[in-house]
Amino acid sequence: MQIRFIRMIDDLFRGVPHSRKVLELKEEMVQNLMEKFNDLLAQGKSEEAAFEIAAASIGDIGDLVRELRKDDPFYAEGEDETIVIHGMDSIDGMDPEPVYAPPPPTPEEMLRRSATAVSTATMLFIVSPAPLLLFRNRMGVLLLFAMIAAGVGLLVFNRLMNPRAADRQAESLENWEEKPDAERKKLFQSLVSAFWLVVTAVYILYSFETDNWYISWVIFLFAAAVSELLKIVFKPNPKKLYGRVSGAIVLSSVAFYFIISFATDAWHITWVLLPLGVALSNVVKAFLQIKRK
Amino acid sequence: MSIASDLIRGHTETIILANLLSHDSYGYEINKSIQQKTAGQYELKEATLYTAFRRLEEGGLIASYWGNETSGARRRYYAITTKGRLTFARLKVEWNAAKELIDILIAEEGDYAN
């Protein structure tokens, strides 16, 4: 029964960032709902009736969500209307299917689809060196990375479309509150590995093509900067926000330093880009801090 | 929800403070005692309760801590602070003054004729 309450609360708070505060509130709400549910059972109510009564006692969480949002720098005032809050009111109405019920999946079909995706991806990974051996030129490298990218894409897509893994995680009670974070983390990690693969492919292709090995490596500096920015988008952690933004700026300025220096050969002056980059990163950092306050 | 419960909702925070005066408590226990005191006539929606908790905690009127229950899920307890006690005393005085005034203002002719 606890899992039903957990699912319901998870659903109510869908779209709310998973800060520590929110996770603690969810835990608190589930605990109190369970206690209420058990009391209702002791009073002789049926399981279903007790669940419905407890669920109906939650009320409209709109104000609560706004209250939690107040100290979240990623949600400015007035953005609330973009968040859908699933009301619990329909419970005592005509709706026979409660709003928090997970959509009924057909397990066999999900499993089959997932197995097909995973085995296709594995096959792609295994076969991917073949074009390199066949063509022994740029075409081979291109095909190799195309196949790896297709395989990674399949795996990412499979993880998105197949909620079974997520369900299984929800069932383990000890770490229920980490569930959404864990899911997000996995998705993020697949994206990051795909990203680095693409960057490496671009690096190798560009270098072979132009023979500019002396400078092409700076793509990795840019890639590191972009991955820092990706982290800001996917793991909104206010505490690390400033560090990541300023890190990205410093990395980019180092990359520009090398590009401009090699291009112009003006090494005697280009070094000023480095202190400028550091200064800019500090200005942005200070600006973000002020804006947050 | 009747007009009475709308009136009461404006005093949710005072009611919660009152329930914490004698001992620390947690969400469901507070709501249960509200239900019992009013013989089932009034009960807070959970959303209202938790919103009030957040506000009170932010204002430093209450503090929360996790209990170490040996069986079942852990509870989040709330304790009233000194600032909370002072605020409660002030709110109670204000309410009593308002109550008297409203009584006078809505009294029908003859209610106060001695």
For chain A, the three-class secondary structure string (H helix, E strand, C coil) is CHHHHHHHHHHHCCCCCCCHHHHHHHHHHHHHHHHHHHHHHHCCCCHHHHHHHHHHCCCCCHHHHHHHHCCCCCCCCCCHHHCCCCCCHHHHCCCCCCCCCCCCCCHHHHHHHHHHHHHHHHHHHHHCHHHHHHHCCHHHHHHHHHHHHHHHHHHHHHHHHCCHHHHHHHHCHHHHHHHHHHHHHHHHHHHHHHHHHHHHHHHHHHHHHHCCHHHHCHHHHHHHHHHHHHHHHHCCCHHHHHHHHHHHHHHHHHHHHHHHHHHHCCHHHHCCHHHHHHHHHHHHHHHHHHHHC
**Cβ <8 Å between B45 and A59:** yes
Share of chain B above pLDDT 70, in %: 93
Inter-chain residue contact B47 with A61, CB threshold 8 Å? yes
A98-107, A136-145, A193-202, B99-108: which range is least confident on average?
Answer: A98-107
Is the Cβ pair B50, A28 closer than 8 Å?
A: yes
B83–chain A Cβ distance below 8 A for any pair? no
Residues in chain B within 8 Å Cβ distance of A58: 45-47
B1 touches chain A (CB under 8 A): no
Hey, is the C-beta of B50 within 8 angstroms of any chain A C-beta? yes
Percent of chain A predicted with pLDDT > 90: 9
Closest approach of chain B CAs to the CA of A26, in angstroms?
10
Q: What is the pLDDT of residue A72?
A: 61
| Contact (CB<8Å) A57/B46 | yes
Which residue has better confidence, A106 or B89?
B89
Cβ pair B45:A60 closer than 8 A: yes
Q: How do strand B25-26 and strand B76-80 relate by DSSP bridges?
A: antiparallel
Say what the pLDDT of residue B21 is: 95
Chain A: nearest CA to B44, how far in angstroms? 8
Q: For an interface test with B, which of A57, A88, A89, A176 has the most B Cβ atoms less than 10 Å from its Cβ? A: A57
Minimum distance, in Å, between the CA of residue A284 and any CA atom of chain B: 29
- Which member of B27, B47, B73 has the closest CB to residue A64? B47
Contacts with B50 from chain A: Cβ below 8 Å? 25, 28-29, 64
Q: Give B41-89 pLDDT, tens digit per residue.
A: 888 889 999 999 999 999 999 999 998 877 777 899 999 999 999 999 9
Report the distance separating Cα B20 and Cα B77, nearest Å.
Answer: 10
Q: ipTM of the predicted structure?
A: 0.85
**Contact between residue A161 and residue A113 where contact means Cβ atoms under 8 Å apart:** yes
Q: Indicate yes or no: CB of A64 within 8 angstroms of CB of B43.
A: no
Confidence band of A102 (pLDDT split at 50, 70, 90): very low
Pick B28's closest partner by Cβ from A24, A32, A63: A32
Confidence of residue B113 (pLDDT cuts 50, 70, 90): low
